[in-house]
């Protein structure tokens, strides 16, 4: 498939994990990509793996305005525009009940996971030829969870931001989200390490996700195959959300 031939995508938080798998998939379908992440060396390694002809990295924090401006300008200068944005960078520095949550930590989670997604979208729009946006939310944004409560609150915010932006930016730009369950990455390690088999029993499809499981749905929602789909959040969860309780 060549759904992204001639297209340019910017994927935040793509030096590893889900973001890197999405970048790999888009490049394999013809896109040129700009990837971001905080660690410059990790980003260089990711770009080398993607192939320097159609991939480039800009290191920085997703919630830093100067970094956003530099990354978007780089996409335009290096590849000629910006057609697709993937707001994938997300953090969860908190573990435990909300009653024990430090308000400054909560603020940081909100700034990276929600506010930065809005800012990236506004700034990408200003670049002129944006067609679609994809936000990496989480099933944690659709129900309560143990220990990662404010992360879930932020992802619920991102899901609503998706619907709101979809309404406001239609018909020119489509905005959708993915809500993955546990995908085996550095971020989610604490949720399954040492008990993967037990955790996987909650999934009708019998296993936890891997980043490549998210890349196909991401490419679909970004592509013209989803031309009449906007404002949606697609659960990518091995069926976990349809398992009956009890």
Ligand X SMILES: NC(=O)c1ccc[n+]([C@@H]2O[C@H](COP(=O)([O-])OP(=O)(O)OC[C@H]3O[C@@H](n4cnc5c(N)ncnc54)[C@H](OP(=O)(O)O)[C@@H]3O)[C@@H](O)[C@H]2O)c1
**Residue ranges in contact with ligand X by CB under 6 A:** 12-19, 36-39, 42, 61-62, 88-91, 112, 136, 138, 180, 182-183, 185-188
- Cβ of 108: how many Cβ atoms within 10 Å? 17
The continuous run of DSSP H or E covering 188 comes out as none
Q: What are the angstrom distances between the C-alpha of 26 and each of 37, 146, 183, 240?
A: 18, 34, 19, 27
- Please, which residues bridge with residue 180 across strands? 236
Q: Which is nearer to ligand X, 32 or 90 (CB)?
A: 90
Q: Which is nearer to ligand X, 39 or 224 (CB)?
A: 39
CA 98/CA 151 separation, integer angstroms: 10
Cβ 80 to ligand X, closest distance in Å?
A: 24
Q: What is the bridge-based pairing of β-strands 84-87 and 8-11?
A: parallel
Cβ 138 to ligand X, closest distance in Å?
A: 4
CA 60/CA 35 separation, integer angstroms: 10
DSSP state of 237: S
The continuous run of DSSP H or E covering 72 comes out as helix 65-79
- 3-state class (DSSP) for residue 158: helix
Cβ 228 to ligand X, closest distance in Å?
A: 25
Q: Which is nearer to ligand X, 2 or 102 (CB)?
A: 102
Q: Which is nearer to ligand X, 129 or 163 (CB)?
A: 163
Cβ 103 to ligand X, closest distance in Å?
A: 19
Q: Which is nearer to ligand X, 188 or 223 (CB)?
A: 188
CA 55/CA 183 separation, integer angstroms: 24
DSSP state of 177: E
Cβ 88 to ligand X, closest distance in Å?
A: 5
192 catalytically annotated: no
Active site (catalytic) residues: 151
């Amino acid at each position: 498939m060549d759904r992204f031939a001639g297209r340019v995508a910017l994927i935040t938080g793509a030096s590893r994990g889900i973001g890197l798998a999405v970048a790999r998939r888009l490049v394999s379908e013809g896109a040129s990509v700009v990837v971001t992440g905080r660690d410059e060396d990790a980003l260089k390694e990711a770009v080398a793996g993607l192939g320097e002809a159609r991939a480039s990295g800009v290191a920085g924090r997703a919630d830093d305005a100067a970094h956003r401006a530099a990354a978007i300008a780089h996409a335009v200068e290096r590849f000629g525009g910006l057609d697709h944005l993937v707001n994938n960078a997300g953090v969860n520095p908190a573990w435990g009940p909300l009653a024990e949550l430090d308000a400054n930590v909560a603020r940081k989670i909100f700034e990276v996971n929600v506010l930065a997604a809005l800012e990236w979208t506004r700034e990408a729009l200003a670049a002129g030829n944006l067609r679609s946006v994809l936000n990496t939310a989480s099933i944690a944004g659709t129900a309560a969870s143990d220990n990662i409560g404010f992360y879930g609150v932020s992802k619920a915010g991102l899901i609503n931001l998706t619907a709101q932006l979809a309404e406001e930016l239609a018909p020119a730009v489509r905005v959708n989200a993915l809500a993955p369950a546990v995908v085996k990455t550095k971020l989610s390690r604490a949720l399954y390490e040492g008990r993967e088999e037990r955790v996987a029993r909650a999934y009708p499809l019998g296993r936890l996700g891997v980043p490549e499981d998210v890349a196909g749905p991401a490419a679909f929602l970004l592509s013209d195959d989803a031309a009449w789909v906007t404002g949606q959040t697609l659960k990518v969860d091995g069926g976990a959300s349809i398992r009956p309780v009890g």
